[in-house]
Structure 1
């Protein structure tokens, strides 16, 4: 078992996001900055002081009613970013029935955009005074208060390195993406998938090249990336021997990331959301988001590429 050393330049991009609903602001190459709104919007007006958790990593909740959530996002990075955000219950006030998510591809550097997400499917309230969180009458006529919400998590990847599961074939002719993974008894496994959507054969030989990255897209040097997973777990389907093979146009292959969430008192736990993947040493980089919770193990196993279905 040997550690893999991969030298890849660091790309820095700030989180920013927008989802379904109306969008305003500099969505292209503009430089509009996020700012507090003093006028009522589609979900009513924001309170005079934003509650805790309403701003995080370039995402700002503007207002919440019983019917909808309005938010604003700003890309504070230096290049276009594909970003996603999760909203959830703040732990106080009315409960949010379900966590919400939204995404925005190719948000330009310095751009700010707004969007809104429906909470109940009811009508929005743009007519309330500034500083008042709206309540919506229920079937009995009683007011339905707005739920307590916060920004749970923001993730971003450079648009140039965004994974692709469908749509137009990337310029490289190869799609690479990660699945949702599986977790059991502290063992984690996330599949890496490759599809040759181009017109030329792709030759794979051994292991994908990977680099573990933190929330700022900086490398995490304390994590050892291992070829194979025997040091992580034995007897799994991802413990196959490496081989050289050709993926023809339309063909597919898969690999895997394997780790354990084990903790002891030896060091601080490591959580690294991103992994930069290169299918071959000279391939274009793709940044996936497996949300590595490595505990104090300090190791990530990488299974070899294999033809899909083998």
Structure 2
């Protein structure tokens, strides 16, 4: 008798020592009916970290039903979280072929969400790769990305610039609500470590002049009124110099836009070295040309 296709898949995967539960359906709140996904052993993180709430999976895991390498993320927190996950796809020779970042928004407490890790070539294109989990970031869902939060403002961070040990990142606030939103001064920051617990020993400076000049955070604070659709930016600047002592890394930052506002957690990935200082510029309105992508003088 000819073996069933599922058994052939089991045998093929087991022969490469990738499979730990072949043919066993993995329960997940967002799994497609009848979808079977087996747990793969993810390649180890070079830094030796493990991620308890993210798993690499294989099988007919995606919406297309095509065999694919994928992942599951489980929210073990008590509030909805938005996850940003970074993977490296590795071929059978151990060569890194692609880096992929995936965002899973608003995962409810206790919920497991399953997604494919398809490469640029479409559904199933990652099936011949194994995946290495490189980074996992999880922030409270209300306030950072996705649909307009209940506050009427969305707070994120840009990717920033780095040169010769100087780091500059923008904290971006968009008025996505229906009413004007007023700012005046500096955002209040609380730095958080990998476990989203407060980081101590860092002095937060008003303005960025003490870090470096000409990087956009030196202006005097002024009242800013954002109409619906308008946005503002505050510049963060630091140096990642490391001398004596333990370097400080704060991947998360809790941002309070103004007194009385609810804090929003973003991920500027502050690698502060042993400098112990972070400069923060005031809120400034983003020029219309920057918001629309137009250059000055264009019509």
Out of 55, 58, 64, the residue aligned to residue 63 of structure 1 is 58
Runs of 5+ in structure 2 lacking a partner?
Answer: 1-25, 61-66, 289-299
Q: 1:112 to 1:188 in 2, by over 3 A?
A: same
Q: 1:199 to 1:62 in 2, by over 3 A?
A: closer
1:153 equivalent in alignment to 2:154:
no
Matches within 5 A, 1:1-310: 25-27=28-30, 41=36, 46=39, 52-53=44-45, 56-63=51-58, 68-89=68-89, 93-119=93-119, 121=121, 146-160=128-142, 162-164=143-145, 168-265=147-244, 267-309=245-287
Q: 1:55 to 1:261 in 2, by over 3 A?
A: closer
Q: 1:245 to 1:218 in 2, by over 3 A?
A: same
Q: 1:51 to 1:198 in 2, by over 3 A?
A: closer
Alpha-carbon distance in 2 for matches of 1:122, 1:181: 29
Bigger RCO (CA 8 Å, 6+ sep): 1
TM-score by length of 1: 0.71
Asked if the contact 2:249–2:272 (Cα under 8 Å) also holds between the matched residues in 1, the reply is: yes
Runs of 5+ in structure 1 lacking a partner?
Answer: 1-22, 29-39, 126-135, 137-145
Where do 4+ consecutive residues of structure 1 move more than 4 Å?
Answer: 89-92, 119-125
Alpha-carbon distance in 1 for matches of 2:97, 2:260: 46
Q: CA RMSD in A?
A: 3.4
Asked if the contact 2:69–2:129 (Cα under 8 Å) also holds between the matched residues in 1, the reply is: no
Asked if the contact 1:93–1:148 (Cα under 8 Å) also holds between the matched residues in 2, the reply is: no
Q: 1:245 to 1:104 in 2, by over 3 A?
A: closer
Asked if the contact 1:196–1:249 (Cα under 8 Å) also holds between the matched residues in 2, the reply is: yes
Asked if the contact 1:181–1:189 (Cα under 8 Å) also holds between the matched residues in 2, the reply is: yes
Q: Which structure shows the bigger proportion of residues in helix conformation? A: 2
Alpha-carbon distance in 1 for matches of 2:122, 2:185: 54
Q: 1:197 to 1:123 in 2, by over 3 A?
A: closer
TM-score by length of 2: 0.73
Aligned pair count reads 253
CA offset digits 1:265-284 (Å, max 9, x no partner): 1x111111111111101112
Structure 1 stretch 248-257 or stretch 113-122: which is displaced more?
A: 113-122
CA offset digits 1:114-170 (Å, max 9, x no partner): 222224748859xxxxxxxxxx9xxxxxxxxx444311111100112x413xx6432
Give the superposition deviation at 1:104.
1.2
